[in-house]
Amino acid sequence: MPPISVIDDKPEVQRVSDARDDHCPVIREDHTIIRLAHGGGGRAMAQLLEDVFRPAFDNPWLEQQHDGAVFDMSGAMAFTTDSYVVRPLFFPGADIGAMAVHGTVNDLAMCGAEPQYLSAGFILEEGLPVSTLRQVVDSMAAAAREEKVRIVTGDLKVVERGKADGLYINTAGVGRVLAPQPVGPGRVQERDRILLSGDLGRHGVAVMAAREKLDLESAIESDCASVVSPVRALLEAGIAVHCLRDLTRGGLASALVEIAETAGLEAHIREADIPVREDVSAVCELLGLDPLHVANEGRFIAVVAAEHVGQAMDILKRHPVSESAREIGHFVKGTPGVVTASSMIGGSRIVDRLSGEQLPRIC
């Protein structure tokens, strides 16, 4: 007969149990790691919410303790969702928590919107240290405060040991559209210029180096950051921004191909004008990676009307996250979806999407 577990009158104290049974749904006195009971909807979950999440995300919407958040918004809205499964959870320059917030607000910015409210769903693996969870949640809270957005609703699930690499995060975000005209690939026109906000490849290389414990001479930090500020400045200045795209999975190459396909145009870019740090370039060359395909978490392209390039570049260079912005190419009539890159030695090559992923699990 299996041992019987009895709960004391004191909350979450197990009196009798098989100490070897890590899958027991009854929480033990040790509150330093995540157990299945934390996802059961009972006292253990309530205590975790009170101890970790509510202090970090405190706001009037969460205080209602309702199934969702109710708020007033007017005018055109943007809505996005994303999931974050990066491994390792912490890497030079950022972590999964900061990336979840920055990635979501950046997606809204690419719609020409000002982010306002986020949701956060957590899938925790049994055995995750609560201290690790707290560090991630605090990082999310700091990023949200920096961006002046509120995390107003969320969800928590716990899965068995070995099923979630510690922690996954799903987010959704809504924001108020600032752009007077739709921003998207369908608005791209012949002669439109392609502006790149900064250097490429640091995020993917930083995560890979941390995962594989590469002994690099210089630390390469992720570019993980919000790009809301320069995008807002472009829109408020009346720049004719026809399309915006952040350069996450698939990098610059995939973004350009997708835009060119939808616009029915051809894109020409100049590799000499695309900034890649020397240390990032060296790692990519060593490992056979193309920086144009490596993911970024704080970089975007803005496709603007040719007559607004000078003013747009001046605006981008005023913001730290885009101070090294470059004009890298333009769109022309031609074969829809074709992207060509002129090389530094005068030749050219076709830039295409990869069939899979160079570096999996980096965002």
Q: What CATH number is given to the structural domain containing 23?
A: 3.30.1330.10
Last residue of a domain, one of 144, 159, 177: 177
Which of 71 and 130 is assigned the larger pLDDT?
Answer: 130
Residues 219, 151 within the same domain: no
Q: Is residue 356 part of a domain?
A: no
What single letter denotes the amino acid at residue 329?
G
More reliable by pLDDT, 137 or 65: 137
DSSP state letters, 232-252: HHHHHTT--EEEEEE--TTHH
Q: Is the pLDDT of residue 14 over 70?
A: no
| 213 and 263 share one domain | yes
Q: Is residue 13 part of a domain?
A: yes
* For residue 19, pLDDT beyond 80: no
Has residue 360 been placed in a domain? no
Same domain, 221 and 318: yes
pLDDT at 360: 83
In a domain, 191, yes or no: yes
pLDDT tens figures, 186-200: 999 999 999 999 999
Q: Kind and range of the H or E element at 64?
A: none
CATH number at residue 245: 3.90.650.10
Give CA–CA dist 166/115, Å, rounded.
Answer: 28
**Domain count of the fold of the chain:** 2
Q: Are residues 91 and 153 in the same domain?
A: yes
Is the predicted pLDDT of residue 18 greater than 50, yes or no? no
329-346 pLDDT tens trace: 999 999 999 999 998 788
**Torsion on CA atoms 83, 84, 85, 87, rounded to nearest 10:** 170
Residues 35 and 82 in one domain: yes
- The lowest-confidence range among 35-39, 94-98, 113-117, 303-307 is 35-39
Q: Are 122 and 49 found together in one domain?
A: yes
Whether residues 189 and 155 fall in one domain: no
Kind of pairing, strands 266-270 and 339-342?
Answer: parallel
Specify whether 301 is located in the same domain as 343: yes
**Could you tell me if 291 and 233 lie in one domain?**
yes
Cα–Cα distance measured from residue 276 to residue 305, given in angstroms and rounded to the nearest whole number: 25
Q: Which domain holds residue 12?
A: 6-177
My answer on whether 343 and 217 are in the same domain is: yes
**Lowest-confidence pick of 18-22, 54-58, 329-333:** 18-22
Q: Which of 119, 142, 177 is the last residue of a domain?
A: 177
CA distances from residue 303 to 118, 244, 246, 261, 294 in whole angstroms, order as listed: 27, 6, 12, 14, 20
Residue 359: inside a domain: no
* Amino acid at position 103, single letter: G
pLDDT of residue 20: 40
**Confidence bin at 13 (pLDDT 50/70/90):** very low
The answer to whether position 263 is within a domain reads yes
The band of 29, judged by pLDDT with boundaries at 50, 70 and 90, is low
Over pLDDT 90: what percentage of the chain?
Answer: 75
Query: What pLDDT score does 28 carry?
Result: 52
Give the distance, in angstroms, between the CA of residue 277 and the centroid of all CA atoms in the same chain: 21
On whether both 42 and 138 belong to a single domain, the answer is yes
Could you say which of 131, 146, 177 is where a domain stops? 177
In a domain, 1, yes or no: no
CA distances, 78 to each of 240, 253, 356 (Å): 19, 25, 29
Average pLDDT rounded to a whole number, residues 160-172: 96
Q: Is 142 helix (H, G, I), strand (E, B) or coil?
A: helix
Across the chain, what does the average pLDDT equal? Answer: 90
pLDDT at res. 30: 64
178/286 Cα distance (integer angstroms) = 43
Check whether 222 has a pLDDT greater than 70. yes
The reply to whether 168 and 208 lie within a common domain is no
Residue 214 domain-assigned? yes
> DSSP secondary structure string, 31-55?
-SB--GGGGSSSHHHHHHIIIIIHH
Q: Measuring CA to CA, which residue among 75, 256, 56 is closest to residue 176? A: 75
| pLDDT confidence of residue 171 | 98
